[in-house]
Amino acid sequence: MNHDEFLGTLDSEVKSIALSFGVSNQTALADFACKLLEDSSELTSMEVGSTALVVGPNRKKLRVDAYGFDEIDGTLQLLASDAIANSASATLTKTEADTLFGQLAWFVQVAIDDNLRSEIPTYEQAAQFAWSLAEIWPSVNRVKLLIATNRTMSDRIRTYDAPMIHGKPTQAQIWDETRMFGLYESQTGKEATKVLFSEFGVDGVPMLSAVTKFEGTQTYLSVLPGDLLARVFDRFGSRLLEGNVRGFLSIRGKVNKGMRGTILGQPERFLAFNNGITATASSIEVDPRGNLLSVENLQIVNGGQTTASLYHFLKNEKTSIENLARTSVAMKLIVVDPELADELVPDIARFSNSQNKVTDTDFFANSPFHRRMEEISKRILAPAVDGKQVSTRWYYERARGSFENERSRASSSPAMLRKFDDTYPRNQKIDKSDLARYHSILNAKPHFARRGSQKNFKAFSDEVGPKWESDHGKAEFEDGFFKRIVGTKILYDTTHKAVRDSDWYSQGYLADIVTYGISRLLYEVDVRKLSIPWEQIWQKQSLSAPITQALLVSSNLALKGLLDPKRRQQNVTEWAKSEECWAALKQMPLELSDDLVGILISREASKEASKEDRNRGAILSELETLKFLAAIETEYWEQLESHPRVRISPAAKDALKLAKSGSALLLDKKKASLLVQLIDEAHNEGIQRPGSS
């Protein structure tokens, strides 16, 4: 994708989001930018909602379009969106940037002042942001202010030094269309970072190079001063943590009390007591003596809690800060060829964490589950609707940017591009975070869905991951599963518009209302031993009037539950993230109309349909296994036969003989299973799995 194509993509995405959810282009750009920056670890779990108003005795304008807090490094994140029409040749000037940053900074001042905060109308999304900010302000270590703009930043803005806000260090970033394009196109999916140790007062870090070098990687061993690691993390924040490790930390906690005790009481023994860290990089710079001078694109794949514990000691233990300089941390640094990073870094992270509490589900983002969803999405056709003569497909975006890359390849001719756009409408795209969110809503866990994409995906992984690992559980994830996920998106989009246009809705909490409204209706239907007609929704690609009306009623009920004066948590957004909120809403009565009940299907019919889906899923699993075995070269099977420690049973020998002859597709389920088991056993003996590199 070239720069001009990206500009077209940016414009199309903003318009699509604005149209789908009835929001301004300003809010739509904020949504697009937050998703892009979250995917690249620049931001964490952002809430989008635009507010611009005047507050205070001087009627000073505040502005905020998105809000978030990184619990791991204590960074408050605030974003202002700048979306203008015909932005192709437009420039964001320094004066305009000063104004936007000033409005964001004023929002912080207002939020932490009780009197000023009360001036924000409660229906404004900023009111909830402000209450959340006031609650977490003591835990804030730094403030990050961002501008997302579809314009090009003026050449006069080379650097931007933001003043501290109430004693908190403040960083200002402008993400213009050029910078977003660079991020979109980067091989790593992240903006390049460079750790230059001289900037931390260290001339070089001694290290040893491993004698062996695997193709595409080189490994080094080193010992870092604890205070150096803490200060590097203070500079770059949790973007240094590989995504799965960050997700693990956000759930399990960032500070280890044992490590803190060691730093306080026996700092010199920290190296002996601690396992150290494992990190990857795209390149390094060394001096003639072999000392490490700089690291490009440092990613900590193991030892995130060690790093976070040292960092929080740096920030919170001021009276014992000298102890940090007396600690040391072992580091294994693996330099990975950038072209292999997407493949190798997740594997390095998974295997380096295989002996601690980080489980396989913490790495579910890289699971073959997502390949199956992608395969299903490209295979099944959605019926043509609204008078169209062509069927469409729902696009599952397993890898970030794959939709736009495919569309870009199709743009080689106008006819191919029209065909792609007709087959894959932009509003029929679902990514991993979307799937996890719809799964939580579908399975009566709206409080998980409202906890942010990272935490919700972790909960999704914990539930789905173990099922995927068993043949019986894997059969659940077939065409019917994908259709229900799509159906839930249709429920969400329809409810969002219906609530927004209703006479009882004013402003605020729309995402909370919609999420809880859908889950509450699905829960009520299930309690009555009935089921939503998912196949009918798939065939029509829309909702019938009784379902839409029922969703409006349940959403109205959800609003009452969210605003219950007796709720334990006054901050509605935070209340919506709690299991207590969901438990309270489930107790509130919800009536179902006769029209709705008339189109629902019985539990028995639903189970029968699920049984058929599961059978199809089992067949799909068998076909995937056979395709995998059929693709294995003869040399691999011969390697297994000749290996002294790989024991092959007589039954497995028969299956292996068939596979060697090129007839793996003729294997029955039992024989295929024996070969998969044999591959696992061979891997334990050091033989690389087929298909690995």
What are the angstrom distances between the C-alpha of 670 and each of 11, 372, 437, 478, 666? 52, 22, 36, 21, 12
CB contact at 8 A, 353 and 245:
yes
Q: What is the mean pLDDT of residues 45-68?
A: 90
Give the pLDDT confidence score for residue 295 in this predicted structure: 95
Q: 353: domain range?
A: 194-358
Concatenated DSSP letters for 191-256? ---EEEGGGGT-S-B-EEE-S---TTEEEEEEEEEHHHHHHHHHHHGGGGB-HHHHHHHHHH-S--
**CA distances in angstroms from 633 to 215, 673, 674, listed in the order given:** 21, 18, 17
Residue 211 lies in a domain: yes
SS3 170: strand
Which pLDDT band, with edges at 50, 70 and 90, does 622 fall under?
A: confident
Distance CA 62, CA 101 (A): 10
β-bridge mates for residue 285, sequence order: 294
Q: Would you give the distance in Å from CA 231 to the centre of its chain?
A: 27
pLDDT at 125 over 90: no
Decide: 516 and 492 in contact? Cβ < 8 Å.
no
Query: Contact, 383 vs 536, CB < 8 A?
Result: no
CATH number reported for the structural domain that contains residue 123 in this entry: 3.40.1350
689 lies in a domain? no
CA 560 to CA 575: how far, in whole Å? 13
Tokens of residue 13, six digits: 């995405």
Contact 208, 220 (CB under 8 A): yes
Query: Where a domain ends, among 571, 599, 627?
Result: 599
- Residues 159-184 have a mean pLDDT of 89
Q: Which residues contact 596 (CB under 8 A, 6 or more apart)?
A: 546, 547, 549, 550
**DSSP result, 32-72:** HHHHHHHHTTSS-SPEEEEEEEEETTTTEEEEEEEEEEETT
Out of 127, 154, 185, a domain closes at 185
Percentage of the chain beyond pLDDT 70 is 91
Sequence-ordered alpha helix ranges (H) in 253-367? 257-265, 270-273, 304-316, 341-352
Q: What is the pLDDT of residue 360?
A: 45
Higher pLDDT, 159 or 524: 524
- Examine the domain organization and report whether 447 and 568 are in the same domain: yes
Span 246-300, pLDDT tens digits = 555 554 455 577 888 899 999 999 999 998 999 999 999 999 999 999 999 898 8
Res 683 pLDDT > 80: no
What count of other Cβ atoms lies within 10 Å of the Cβ of residue 442? Answer: 22
In a domain, 690, yes or no: no
Same domain? 438 vs 560 = yes
Same domain for 540 and 445? yes
Q: Give me the chain's average pLDDT, please.
A: 87
Handedness of CA 258, 264, 266, 270 (dihedral sign): positive
Q: State how far the Cα of 116 lies from the Cα of 256, in Å rounded to an integer.
A: 38
For residue range 94-116, list pLDDT tens digits in order: 999 999 999 999 999 999 999 99
Domain count, the chain: 4
Domain termination site, one of 599, 619, 637: 599
| Residue 198 to residue 48: CA distance in whole angstroms | 38
